[in-house]
Structure 1
Amino acid sequence: MRNIIETTTSLGRISEEIKKEHKGFLEWNSVSTRHDHQSILQMVIDGRDPKAVDSEGQPLPTLVYLSREKKPQYHHNFKAGAMNALIRVSSKISNGSIILNVDCDMYSNNSESVRDALCFFMDEEKGHEIAYVQFPQCYDNLTRNDLYGTCFRVINEVELAALDANGGPCYIGSGCFHRRETLCGMKYSKGCETEWKRENERKTREKASVLEESCKVLASCTYEENTQWGKEEMGLKYDCAVQDIITGFSIQCRGWKSMYFNPERQGFLGVAPTTLLQSLGQHKRWSEGQFQIFLSMYCPFIYGHKKIPLKLQFSYSPYFLWAPNCMATLYYVAVPSLSVVGGISLFPEIWSLWVLPFAYVIIAKYAYSLGEFLWFDGTIQGWWNDQRVWLFRRTTSYFFAFLDTILKLVGFAENTFVVTAKVSDEDVSRRYEQEVMEFGCPSPMFTIISTLAMLNLFSFVSCVKRVVVDIQIKALESLALQIILCGLLVLINLPVYQGLFFRKDKGAMPTSVTYESISLALLACSIVLY
């Protein structure tokens, strides 16, 4: 299959041999491109055909290939547009009431996931209230200590599970079983069970060839014109980088509940980013989309008012406010360090009783965080990696997401959907498996990370010089908390220093970033001193 795909890509057309295998390929003619082609639909397996059996004689389910129409003059609305086309076409071909959504880079890891999800939908007491059952987003290529903090250990094990008590988890875009009607705009009512029974009695009687032709229009570019698809209550929402979350939120505001299920054997597994830039880019898109929701009409305290419980409105807020939280983090990693260089004390002296609240917050926060992480089978090194990546995200991904959102609000930018690349070469994969942080290419995100790392290094060296060489013990007492914070940031940034000065492989920090970061850090220190 890989050879066929690569050959087809290099030729720029479908070869005659491949076209003969499936008639759907015949429609990929010389004028078709990935961005300009008609609707292509083929029922590869017709489950109603008695001949549709496997090698053991067991019946096979219906399998349909769909490539929706794309034209340059029409916006295709990314993943949400594709799912809406699939919902419409599948509604015509199948009378199935449950839809499973799995991203293209994920696969089923547990054959009992379907049965487990149906147990919630078919529960005699509460099943009729449930719109979707969300499984956690897990990965099968994580390193032992989760180098880039992508496993969402605490979110998956604690936060999403806790949302069940508040009305249900958000829809995170993959590994989710949906009740079809809820995606099509149905509001919750106690009489909806009768409607489902009537709908499930419907059978598709048309021939496969007739269905193929009649369904193509449902996947055309013009079908959604002057309709509510992607707008109010029909299908997945458009014009948002995180269409999944806003779609799930709107479903809950129509009276439905959701369920979170995290089985011992993970239901679905995918591919995690293997470079730091991929991970940061992914979080930029997520945090930007969530902050856009908070500032839009879909803000949980406005759109969700009197529609969902207040505790569920508050539960959404920490995720929707990832982006603006960057400002507090940037303050703590820059201002205290610069103040140390200038000899300015921001916190109480080390022997003052007023230092106790600061000490309590620091110790309690990190002790609880570490205990929580270890309780769910994490490692100490994995927790430390998580703290490091948390810092990197808040000073880069969330910062750029915050800026982009503000620029879009004032009309200086437009919404874009950036797909996270998951493919890497052998050297990158090898370094990832060895848990060596990957930099490799210039990026404004790396410039910020390196500048802050160098700023804290210069500040820490200045502290040591002041105390050891100049013997200014009084400075140690008044600047103790800032020195501790500065030293902690230096420890967190050790992989950055290695990438800047010691590594010689292709994953090292680019030379241009090294020069920029040193220059910017020295400039900042000079401004404070003079």
Structure 2
Amino acid sequence: MVINTVLSVMAYEYPTEKLSIYLSDDGGSEITFYALLEASRFSKYWLPFCKKYRVEPRSPAAYFSRVAESFHDPLMATDWSSIKKLYVDTKKRIEKTTKQGQISDELRQEHKGFREWDLILIDGRHEKAMDTEGQPLPTLVYLAREKRPQYHHHFKAGAMNALIRVSSRISNAPVILNVDCDMYSNNSESVRDAMCFLMDEERGHEIGYVQYPQSFENITKNDVYGGSLRVIYEVELAGLDGNGGPCYVGTGCFHRREALGWKSMYFNPERKGFVGVSPTTLLQTLVQHKRWSEGDFQVFFSKYCPFVYGHGKIPLQLQASYCFFLLWAPNCLATLYYVAVPSLCILRGISLFPKISSNWILPFAYVIIAKYGYSLGEFVWCGGTFQGWWNEQRMWVFKRTTSYLFGFCDTILKSIGIARSGFVVTAKVADEEVSERYEQELMEFGTPSPMFNIIATLSLINLFSFVGGVKKIITDYYGEEVLGDELGLQILLCGLLVLINLPIYQGLFFRKDKGRMPNCVTYQSLILAIIIVAYLIA
């Protein structure tokens, strides 16, 4: 995956002598260095092939998976077969070395980098750095930074800073593209497109960076985990662009090396600039959003809060737009209230909302219909399905009651010195069984997690409360309208949450595959939910 991303950006439709690619590997892995060495050799054949036939996309894996060997041009058919064989052979060698877990003595003799930890694999400044057509190759650099326990390395930001320092000594290009290892370039014209903004005669001097949206190639039809973030990238970031510029999302972004707080630009072309891999399990998704929400909330608490650092520098509406994302974590408080308290109050017969027969119900009805009607229209307009929208609503509930809760608590604990900062990388590689269940849009549990305990316990509380509320109306009060009138909206909310949690009930009680809810989570959550409900009923 990493090597395909590297090859895709090496093959940009742009003067190669002006391109320098830096791979940041915090692990300092000899196997990754070897894989990059193999990529540098394959690039001598891949780049001429891409430019000769103007192929898209220019990630070999993505290209060969989409384009079959059926060409009217005999020469292209021959070249296609040859380059495909070279790629397969390169892939096999990398996979073989990876399985062995070490570099053989024979491979160590192939490049001095294994002995001297040399940075530069292809030096674009050297006359010998040519492809098979005699054209110059881009500079290719491997970077592994030193880490020490007593010094904070600042995670991804620290890696970016190290890359900026090293690149200033080698290439010192005025524009930097930051791409995650799993986000290959899908459009060979992306550099030219970004430069059109940065070099515009009228407004180019105002633009500090050009942000592309994240797109994912492994999203299922109904996007079971809401991983595409469709509305965020198609609507909300475009809205920020209208307010003065989008926020930096961490990948797919062209920066000026010298960015002076400048405006930013959001660019979402018809052909996606970058395509990556979305998490394929529920836990991966929740962990990813925990990291995002925690990092964003830390920014809000820091001196770089848009309302503080941006005061007098950017418009108020743009400050507020940034804070929409920075305040994801505190959303857990309101969501937890609505998910738990109204349902539990049903068991005690406590009414929290206006009566169904009261005119005060109209504002609630308007907000519910307007909010979700607009949300559905927005999602479908972005190319989604009704089931996809429903899956996204479910995921917002799950993320706000787990990911955002953990992110909120960790940020508070770190701010008072009780906990330390951590960074959990989201796994993007799944085994065959997990991939099959993902394609079938079956929600994947499988591994015990405190997040699953919270989700399962809340879902069971809502189920018990809904059953108890309906029983009170039908049995205890013989269908008396007063109770149904007072608790009607709460029971409706509780019933909606039960529908949202249907995959949880399936994972707890009905599924037999390895992706079901772990037994320990089932038992712990069931016991805790029963204790809470029994206490309220007593």
| Range into which the TM-score falls when normalised by the shorter chain | 0.7 to 0.9
Determine if contact 2:462/2:497 at 8 Å carries over to the other structure. Answer: yes
1:486 aligns with 2:494: yes
* Match in the other structure for 1:24: 113
The 5-angstrom pairing of residues 119-518 of structure 1 reads 119-182=196-259, 187=260, 252=261, 256-470=262-476, 471-473=478-480, 474-518=482-526
Determine if contact 2:112/2:118 at 8 Å carries over to the other structure. Answer: no
Which of 518, 527, 530 is matched with 2:535 structurally?
527
Q: For the residues of structure 2 that align with 1:403 and 1:422, how far apart are their CA atoms?
A: 26
Matched to 2:525, the amino acid is: S
Matched to 1:529, the amino acid is: I
Matched to 1:45, the amino acid is: I
Q: 1:518 to 1:278 in 2, by over 3 A?
A: same
Matched to 1:438, the amino acid is: E
Q: For the residues of structure 1 that align with 2:168 and 2:391, how far apart are their CA atoms?
A: 45
Q: How many pairs align? A: 447
Determine if contact 1:42/1:65 at 8 Å carries over to the other structure. Answer: yes
1:118 aligns with 2:195: yes
- Which of structures 1 and 2 has the larger relative contact order (alpha carbons within 8 angstroms, sep 6+)? 1
Matched to 2:479, the amino acid is: Q
Per-residue deviation, 1:64:
2.0
Which of 164, 174, 182 is matched with 1:105 structurally?
182
Between stretches 461-470 and 97-106, larger displacement belongs to 461-470
User: Per-residue CA shift, 1:174-204, capped at 9, x if unaligned?
Assistant: 000011122xxxx3xxxxxxxxxxxxxxxxx
* Match in the other structure for 1:43: 120
Q: For the residues of structure 2 that align with 1:301 and 1:66, how far apart are their CA atoms?
A: 36
Secondary structure, aligned partner of 2:118? strand
Secondary structure, aligned partner of 2:516? coil
Which of 136, 142, 160 is matched with 1:65 structurally?
142
Per-residue deviation, 1:380:
0.2
Determine if contact 1:41/1:66 at 8 Å carries over to the other structure. Answer: no
Q: 1:22 to 1:304 in 2, by over 3 A?
A: same
Listed as ranges, the gaps of 5+ residues in structure 1 are: 28-39, 188-251
Matched to 2:406, the amino acid is: F
* Match in the other structure for 1:233: none
Per-residue deviation, 1:48:
2.9
C-alpha RMSD over aligned residues: 1.7
Percent of aligned positions that are identical: 69
Secondary structure, aligned partner of 2:209? strand
Matched to 1:479, the amino acid is: L
Secondary structure, aligned partner of 1:41? coil
User: Per-residue CA shift, 1:365-403, capped at 9, x if unaligned?
Assistant: 110000010011000000000000000000001111111
Per-residue deviation, 1:266:
0.8
Per-residue deviation, 1:11:
6.2
Between stretches 99-108 and 46-55, larger displacement belongs to 46-55
Task: Calculate the TM-score normalised by the size of structure 1.
Answer: 0.81
Q: For the residues of structure 2 that align with 1:163 and 1:20, how far apart are their CA atoms?
A: 52
* Match in the other structure for 2:73: none
Listed as ranges, the gaps of 5+ residues in structure 2 are: 1-34, 36-90
Per-residue deviation, 1:450:
0.6
Q: For the residues of structure 2 that align with 1:523 and 1:275, how far apart are their CA atoms?
A: 30
Q: For the residues of structure 2 that align with 1:331 and 1:103, how far apart are their CA atoms?
A: 36
Matched to 2:192, the amino acid is: R
Per-residue deviation, 1:75:
3.8
Per-residue deviation, 1:163:
1.1
Q: For the residues of structure 2 that align with 1:69 and 1:6, how far apart are their CA atoms?
A: 27
The 5-angstrom pairing of residues 87-98 of structure 1 reads 87-98=164-175
Matched to 2:216, the amino acid is: Y
User: Per-residue CA shift, 1:256-288, capped at 9, x if unaligned?
Assistant: 111000011111011111100010001011111
User: Per-residue CA shift, 1:217-270, capped at 9, x if unaligned?
Assistant: xxxxxxxxxxxxxxxxxxxxxxxxxxxxxxxxxxx2xxx111000011111011
Matched to 1:472, the amino acid is: G
Determine if contact 1:459/1:486 at 8 Å carries over to the other structure. Answer: yes
Per-residue deviation, 1:455:
0.6
Secondary structure, aligned partner of 1:370? helix
User: Per-residue CA shift, 1:114-147, capped at 9, x if unaligned?
Assistant: 1110000010011011111000011111111111
Task: Calculate the TM-score normalised by the size of structure 2.
Answer: 0.80
Q: 1:44 to 1:128 in 2, by over 3 A?
A: same
Q: For the residues of structure 1 that align with 2:412 and 2:172, how far apart are their CA atoms?
A: 44
Q: For the residues of structure 1 that align with 2:143 and 2:189, how far apart are their CA atoms?
A: 27
User: Per-residue CA shift, 1:465-496, capped at 9, x if unaligned?
Assistant: 22333323221111110111011000000000
Q: 1:409 to 1:50 in 2, by over 3 A?
A: closer
Per-residue deviation, 1:464:
2.1
Q: For the residues of structure 2 that align with 1:398 and 1:349, how far apart are their CA atoms?
A: 32
User: Per-residue CA shift, 1:490-525, capped at 9, x if unaligned?
Assistant: 000000000000001111001111111111212222
